[in-house]
Amino acid sequence: MRVALVGNQNSGKTTLFNLLTGTNQKVGNWPGVTIERKVGTIRGTDFEIVDLPGIYSLSPYSIEEAISRRFLFEENVDLILNIIDSTSIERSLYLTTQLLELNIPVLIALNMSDIADKRGIKIDLHTLEEKLDTTIISISALKKTNVFNLIQYIKRQDYRKNYYTHIYDLHLEEAIKKLENLNETEHKRFLAVKLIEKDPLFNDFQNEESNQIIMDISKQYQRDMEQIIADERYRYIENIRDEAVSARKEQLTWTD
Ligand code: GDP
Ligand code: MG
Ligand code: K
């Protein structure tokens, strides 16, 4: 069993990693770069956990993103442990919407719950779980709150394993479905979205049929498809925020 710890910079990844592994960890570098690579074993299990570089997206634009993406694609990851800063859910969920498109279960650790509590930010976990179709556990890595519980969930593999939260409008979802049916890769939905975005790393997967589907969908929008996909992600995230998060107004940090 292999777990990948994924999240934004400063979401508390290293703090959580240290708690989950204790002294059972090795530090090195990712091949060819001087970015730290930590691997360990989760306490009370023989599950391997790898601390991936802090990222905001799975686009191909930075070394950190490329490392993370390659790892998730090629290294037989059984579970993505996605750590999120509860005080900036909106920013964090942008990455989450991409992780959910991979054919890998995602368990969310909603970190910094101590700060959220102090600021009066209230998050309806049940609604958030329903909306994202995934299992969410509120923790504070700093205060060690609920971390033992999190380990139990991982150990018992007690999390939702049905993927593919539908987040786009009807036309896009239709195009994605058609593209998914054209390929036999492991991460069909992720690939379908990347083809629509015209992500250069997936050029090899283009063919006549996929190009036709993408031309048809592009005609309907008349704008850059990568931007359309990003807009759709944000629209979905705003909707989730409106339904699942409440706070004293002056404490909200959505727009920074
Ligand atoms: P990383 O960049 O994702 O590895 O984040 P770190 O683990 O280095 O944490 C970034 C900062 O947030 C550090 O100062 C941590 O002590 C702090 N931090 C991490 N988790 C929590 C938490 O649950 N509550 C609070 N208040 N601070 C935290
Ligand atoms: Mg770190
Ligand atoms: K998934």
- pLDDT at position 219: 94
Q: What ligand has the least distance to the C-alpha of 187?
A: 3
* Nearest residue by C-alpha to atom 24 in ligand 1: 112
Q: For ligand 1, atom 19, name the residue with the nearest CA.
A: 12
pTM of model > 0.80: yes
**Residue of minimum CA distance from atom 10 in ligand 1:** 10
Mean pLDDT of 54-69: 92
**pLDDT at residue 247 above 80?**
no
Tell me if 14 is assigned to a ligand binding site.
yes
Q: How confident is the model at residue 60 (pLDDT cuts 50, 70, 90)?
A: confident
- Give yes or no for a contact between 200 and 60, defined as CB atoms under 8 angstroms apart: yes
Q: Is 193 annotated as a binding residue?
A: no
Exposure b/e, 96-135, CB count within 10 A at least 16 = b: bbbbbbbebbbbbbbbbbeebeebebebeeeebbebbebb
Check whether 59 has a pLDDT greater than 60. yes
Left if phi > 0, otherwise alpha if psi is -120 to 50, otherwise beta: which for 238?
alpha
Instruction: Tell which atom from ligand 1 comes closest to the C-alpha of 83.
Output: 3
What value of ipTM does the predicted structure carry? 0.98
**Ligand 1 pocket mutation, candidates 35, 113, 140, 142, criterion most atoms within 8 A of CB:** 142
Q: Does residue 68 line the site of ligand 1, with CB under 6 A?
A: no
Q: Is 140 in the pocket of ligand 1 (CB under 6 A)?
A: yes
Report how far residue 232's alpha carbon sits from residue 252's, in angstroms, rounded to the nearest whole number.
22
d(CA 150, CA 57): 24
What integer pLDDT is reported at residue 58 of this predicted model?
93
Q: For residues 146 and 114, is the Cβ–Cβ distance under 8 A?
A: no
pLDDT at 154 (0 to 100): 96
Q: Is a pLDDT exceeding 70 seen at residue 252?
A: no
Mean pLDDT of 173-187: 93
What is the total residue count of the chain? 256
pLDDT at residue 250 in the model: 52
Task: Report CA(255)–ligand 2 centroid distance (Å).
Answer: 24
Residue type, 78: D
Angle at 158 between CA 125 and CA 42, to 5 degrees: 105
Three-class SS state of 106? strand
Checking if the pLDDT of 126 tops 60, the result is yes
Q: Is the CB of 18 under 6 A from ligand 1?
A: no
For tokens 């990693």, the residue is: 17
How many angstroms does the Cα of residue 98 sit away from the middle of ligand 3? 8
Ligand nearest, relative to CA of residue 141: 1
Share of the chain above pLDDT 70, in %: 95
Q: How confident is the model at residue 32 (pLDDT cuts 50, 70, 90)?
A: confident
> If you average pLDDT over residues 31-45, what whole number do you get?
93
Contact 124, 61 (CB under 8 A): no
Look at ligand 1, atom 9, and give the residue with the nearest C-alpha.
Answer: 12
Give percent above pLDDT 90 in the chain.
86
What is the number of the ligand closest to the CA of 135? 3
Query: Is the Cβ atom of 147 under 6 angstroms away from ligand 1?
Result: no
Mean pLDDT over 39-51 rounds to 96
**Arithmetic mean of pLDDT over the chain:** 92
Cα(first)–Cα(last) distance of the chain, in Å?
38
Q: Tens of pLDDT along 208-220?
A: 999 999 999 999 9
Dist CA 90 CA 88 (whole Å)? 6
Smallest-distance ligand from the CA of 96: 3
Averaged over 102-117, what is the pLDDT? 96
At residue 256, does pLDDT exceed 50? no
- Most confidently predicted of 6-15, 25-34, 53-62, 152-161: 6-15
CB of 117 sitting under 6 A from ligand 1: no
Per-residue model confidence (pLDDT) at position 163: 64
